[in-house]
C-alpha cells in the first residue's frame, strides 16, 4: 500500500502538553523554518504520511504549508493553541487533529482553542482522532464530538506495545509504564501513556456510548481514516479495485475472521 506510512507525533509539540513524551527530546519550534524540520528528519520524507505539530510554535505555519505541498498530512495536537491560531493552521493546510481532548488546551467559552475548530466554518476540512477506550475521555465527550462533527470522527487506539500484555510494569522507549486493566500510565505518575485498547473494542464502545448504528461506528474506524489519508479508493470500503482487507463481525461486533487481500488469514475458533 503506497500511501500508508509513518505518523511523526513529535518532537514539534508543546512541552506543556507533552503527555508521555520526554521533554528533553522536544523542540521549541522551527527557528530556521523548514531547515529545522529537515535537521531532525532529513530531506527524504517518502515514508512520512502524517506529522503532528503544535501550531503555536514559532514558524509553524511555514512548515505546515510546506508539508502540505509535499502531500504530507499535518495534524494539530499536543497543543495550547488558541482558536485563531488553530484556524490559521487549518487554512495553511492542516487537516487533522491528534487524539481530540487529550494533550490540548481545555475548552473555554471565550477561547475554545483547538476544540473550537469542530464547530467552526472550517470544520469540513478537518478529521480528528478519538481514543474511545473509556479512559482517555468521558463518554459524554465522545457524544459531544460526534454530534458536532460526525463526518470527521476517526476512531483510534493510540495503543502502545503493552497492549495485550498482562497487568504490571512494561517498557515504553526510555520510560517505564504500568498497566492496570484498561489503563496505562507512566510508572509512578497518573500520566496516561497511550492506551492498551484494541480498535474493535473502540468500535463497540462508540456504539454503546453514542447509541449510534453499527455502520456509523464502523465508518469511524474504516472509511473516515481512509478519507483523511486520501486512500479511500484502496481501503476503508469494499469497492471495485480496493485491496479487500476486511474482517467479519458477529452481531455484537466481535471479530469472527480476518481477510487480507481477499484471503482468510485468521478465524475465531
- Among all residues, which ones are annotated catalytic? 158
Contact predicate 97/50, CB 8 Å: no
In eight-state DSSP terms, residue 114 is: G
DSSP H stretches of helix in the chain: 34-41, 60-69, 83-92, 139-148, 199-210, 214-221, 223-228
The Cα–Cα gap between 238 and 170 comes to: 38
Residues 6 or more apart whose Cβ sits within 8 Å of residue 173:
22
Neighbour tally for 36: CB within 10 Å: 19
Q: Please tell me the distance from the alpha carbon of residue 81 to that of residue 98, in angstroms, as a whole number.
A: 13
Residues 102, 92: Cα–Cα separation, whole Å: 23
The CA-atom distances, in angstroms, between 43 and each of 36, 63, 71, 92 are 11, 13, 14, 21
Please report, for residues 75, 84, 266, the alpha-carbon distance to residue 17 in angstroms, rounded to integers and kept in the order given: 15, 18, 40
CB 265 within 8 A of CB 257: no
Whether residue 1 contacts residue 231, with contact meaning beta carbons closer than 8 Å, is answered with yes
Amino acid at each position: 500500500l503506497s500511501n500508508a506510512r509513518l505518523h511523526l507525533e513529535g518532537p514539534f509539540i508543546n512541552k506543556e502538553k507533552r503527555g508521555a513524551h520526554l521533554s528533553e527530546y522536544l523542540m521549541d519550534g522551527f527557528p530556521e523554518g523548514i531547515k529545522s524540520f529537515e535537521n531532525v528528519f532529513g530531506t527524504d520524507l517518502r515514508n512520512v504520511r502524517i506529522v503532528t505539530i503544535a501550531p503555536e510554535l514559532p514558524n509553524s505555519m511555514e512548515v505546515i504549508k510546506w508539508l502540505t505541498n509535499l502531500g504530507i498530512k499535518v495534524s494539530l495536537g499536543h497543543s495550547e493553541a488558541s482558536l485563531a491560531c488553530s484556524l490559521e493552521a487549518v487554512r495553511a493546510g492542516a487537516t487533522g487533529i491528534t487524539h481530540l481532548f487529550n494533550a490540548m488546551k481545555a475548552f473555554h467559552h471565550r477561547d475554545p482553542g483547538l476544540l473550537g475548530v469542530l464547530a467552526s466554518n472550517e470544520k469540513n476540512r478537518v478529521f480528528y482522532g478519538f481514543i474511545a477506550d473509556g479512559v482517555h475521555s468521558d463518554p459524554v465527550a465522545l457524544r459531544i464530538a460526534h454530534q458536532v462533527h460526525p463526518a470527521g470522527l476517526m476512531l483510534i487506539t493510540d495503543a502502545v506495545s503493552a497492549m495485550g500484555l498482562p497487568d504490571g510494569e512494561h517498557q515504553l522507549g526510555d520510560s517505564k509504564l504500568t498497566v492496570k486493566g484498561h489503563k496505562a500510565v507512566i510508572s509512578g505518575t497518573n500520566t496516561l501513556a497511550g492506551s492498551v485498547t484494541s480498535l474493535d473494542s473502540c468500535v463497540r464502545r462508540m456504539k454503546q456510548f453514542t447509541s449510534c448504528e453499527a455502520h456509523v461506528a464502523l465508518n469511524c474506524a474504516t472509511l473516515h481514516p481512509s478519507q483523511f489519508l486520501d486512500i479511500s479508493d484502496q481501503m476503508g470500503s469494499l469497492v471495485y479495485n480496493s485491496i479487500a482487507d476486511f474482517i467479519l463481525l458477529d452481531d455484537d461486533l466481535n471479530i469472527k475472521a480476518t481477510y487480507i487481500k481477499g484471503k482468510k488469514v485468521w478465524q475465531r475458533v
